[in-house]
Structure 1
């Protein structure tokens, strides 16, 4: 599976959710991927879930954990 390239505040970044990142995301949110997607679609998401989804996707696209957290934190601080 190829990574998507997302235009993001501060540049373009690869985004991908392979199995390792889905497992990380499930641990961080307590939700499986399909359940989490349904929560987002229904507007029933918790405040940290979008942050965790994007962070995991950036890591799956090749960014290190600290860099992904920094990029997402800066974007969320600027664009809540």
Structure 2
């Protein structure tokens, strides 16, 4: 989640994943406390140019876009 270039992070996850394997990770969703805190901080100190916000990994739509065409069976789950 703190990888500055998500495309490279996804590539590395897939490179080391065994065929038929599962990728699982836990992130801070944008709508919960830590995600909201990151949004507040970013308003005053934005991430460096070209660096994606770490909380984007908590958005199922963003994760689906990042993994599109590379994996099957993306099934995000949330604890709210």
Would you say same fold, with TM above 0.5?
A: no
Q: Which has the higher contact order (CA 8 A, sep 6+)?
A: 2
Who wins on radius of gyration, i.e. which is larger?
A: 2
What TM-score, normalized by structure 1, do the two folds share? 0.28
Higher share of residues assigned helix:
1
Higher share of residues assigned strand:
1
What TM-score, normalized by structure 2, do the two folds share? 0.28
